[in-house]
Amino acid sequence: MRFDEKPIFRKIIVPWYDSETACLLLILFMVLVFLFGIAGLSVSSEIVEYNDFIWVPILLILLSGWVVVSTMIRLIKRFPI
């Protein structure tokens, strides 16, 4: 007789970097980076010398937004309704 490889009573062990606390801290940090990118976007659009570097705050906004959305999806999938 074979042992059941996935018994019902076992809980999935979540690594520390994928825990709820770590995900919430990551979202908080990425929101701060997102706000920093918005501030950089306003500064680079106001000062003429910085217009060539407007891609840096746009990249910060896009990447931090992507991380926030993907982490939120991961947290939502963990708690089924």
Pair of tokens at residue 40: 């950089």
Predicted pLDDT of residue 14 = 72
Higher pLDDT, 69 or 1: 69
Measured at the alpha carbon of residue 61, what is the angle toward residues 56 and 18, in degrees to the nearest 5? 120
pTM reported for the whole predicted model? 0.78
Higher pLDDT, 42 or 8: 42
Rounded mean pLDDT, 70-77: 93
pLDDT tens-place string over residues 18-54: 889 999 999 999 999 999 999 999 999 999 999 999 9
Across all residues in the chain, what is the average pLDDT? 88
**Helix/strand/coil (H/E/C) assignment for every residue in the chain:** CCCCCCCCCCCCCCCHHHCHHHHHHHHHHHHHHHHHHHHHHHHHHHCHHHHHHCHHHHHHHHHHHHHHHHHHHHHHHHCCC
